[in-house]
Amino acid sequence: MQRFDAIVIGGGLVGSAIAYGLARAGLRPALIDEGDVAFRASRGNFGLVWVQSKGLGAPHYQRWTRLSSEEWPALAAELAERTGISVGHERPGGVHLCLSEAEFAERQARMEQMRQEAGNFGFEYRMLGADELRGMLPGLGPAVVGASWTRYDGHANSLYLLHALHKGFVARGGTYIPNRTVDYAAAQPNDFRLGSGAAEISAPKIVLAAGLGNAKLAPLFGLSAPVRPQRGQILVTERAGRMFEMPTTTVRQTIEGGIMIGDSMEDVGFDTSQRPDVMAAMAERAVKSFPWLAELQVVRAWAALRVMPPDGTPIYDESEKFAGAFTANCHSGVTLAGAHANAFAPMVAAGALAPDMVPFSAKRFDVPQAA
């Protein structure tokens, strides 16, 4: 039996960021990773570090996302220094394009509600008309009516981020255990044992960050993680000279020059296949926004599964039955990497979640049934 200070289950962006933060806090953590056979949302995501649309009706989520966006520059700089990997992070602000007056009005109402819910914390946004937007983005199509803008938004290369977190984790003394699933688990307060193949490991702390796998793992530790898959599809064009100075919600240019189009949310279960009708609809809306995109060749396309809590807001919890067991569930492994490494991991290291994390508990789904 190998003993560690903490075990993190799940080597995607959520688990890696938490494990990295634990190692940096001086713990000796183990990171168990199913490997590239996993659904691995971290390999398929769009790469936004996105704030402006997160947390409608859930201001704690807006604050958490903002915190992460503000931690991101320090995390990116630290990873570059420690690992030599530049994760391509930029935070120039971002826009959400509206292609009709109705979309614009709906967006404006949403942004204003976000501002009011933010209270003293503040939420700075602007609704931009088409004329002003034309000075910020290249070759907008006549269909674009306007956009919402905040200065909090940005983007990064999520594959480099995953690589850098893994490398940084190991460099800080973490033990990476790849190509393993959890065969059995035994939970006692501050005493967790996992079996995986012939190996058995134990630790007084455990963090469940296994994405969609958390739904089955959580009950073993007195926790609940009712996450479901939501499919998203992405198209990537050939590399072009730098066209965009900022990302949009559904079209962004990577630092290498490829232009990504991602604009689908599909409830299709555990199905990662691609659908031409969805891809066509995505391309059509992108070309309406930026007609010149039609000239570019699409060179890659894929589908992946988001890890979606029932209300879209992340679930963070600690077990009441088994102290020392934590869970983290969200569909924003890139955006929230700053918060996971720099805020969530220190809480786990300290042994308890901060009081302001209470609204993220899965207890919010325990609504008594009406008689």
65-73, 234-242, 316-324, 338-346 -> range binding another protein (CB under 8 A): 234-242
The only residue of 70, 80, 118, 141 in contact with another protein, by rule CB under 8 A: 141
Would strands 6-9 and 29-32 be described as parallel, antiparallel, or unpaired?
parallel
Residue placing its CB nearer to another protein in the complex, 22 or 286: 286
Tell me how far apart the alpha carbons of residues 234 and 122 are, in angstroms, rounded to a whole number.
33
- The half-sphere exposure of 219 on its side-chain side, counting CA atoms within 13 A, is 4
Tokens of 199: 């190996």
Tokens of 315: 């679930």
The only residue of 57, 92, 139, 310 in contact with another protein, by rule CB under 8 A: 139
Residue placing its CB nearer to another protein in the complex, 152 or 290: 290
Task: State the minimum distance, in angstroms, from the CB of residue 275 to another protein.
Answer: 24
Q: Is 138 in the site for another protein (CB under 8 A)?
A: yes
Q: Is 243 in the site for another protein (CB under 8 A)?
A: yes
Tell me how far apart the alpha carbons of residues 236 and 244 are, in angstroms, rounded to a whole number.
15
Q: Is 84 in the site for another protein (CB under 8 A)?
A: no
Site size for another protein, by CB under 8 A?
18
Task: State the minimum distance, in angstroms, from the CB of residue 19 to another protein.
Answer: 29
Q: One symbol per residue from 281 to 300: x for binding another protein (CB under 8 A), - otherwise; what is it?
A: -----------x--xxx-x-
Q: One symbol per residue from 297 to 326: x for binding another protein (CB under 8 A), - otherwise; what is it?
A: x-x---------------------------
Question: Is residue 255 within 8 Å of residue 86, measured between CB atoms?
Answer: no
What 3-state class would DSSP assign to 82?
helix
The only residue of 101, 132, 183, 238 in contact with another protein, by rule CB under 8 A: 238
37-45, 95-103, 165-173, 237-245 -> range binding another protein (CB under 8 A): 237-245
Q: Is 109 in the site for another protein (CB under 8 A)?
A: no
Closest to 217 measured CA to CA, from 315, 78, 104, 85: 315
What string of DSSP letters covers 62-82? HHHHHHHHHHHHHHHHHHHHH
The only residue of 81, 131, 256, 366 in contact with another protein, by rule CB under 8 A: 256
DSSP 8-state code for residue 138: S
Tokens of 322: 């088994």
Residue placing its CB nearer to another protein in the complex, 75 or 246: 246
- The half-sphere exposure of 119 on its side-chain side, counting CA atoms within 13 A, is 5
**217 dihedral zone (left: phi>0; alpha: psi -120 to 50; beta):** alpha
Q: Work out the angle at residue 334's Cα, subtended by the Cα atoms of residues 349 and 225, and round it to the nearest 5 degrees.
A: 60
Q: Is 369 in the site for another protein (CB under 8 A)?
A: no
Residue placing its CB nearer to another protein in the complex, 284 or 295: 295
Question: Tokens 């992070």 correspond to what residue?
Answer: 89
Enumerate binding residues for another protein (CB under 8 A). 134, 138-142, 238-241, 243, 256-257, 292, 295-297, 299
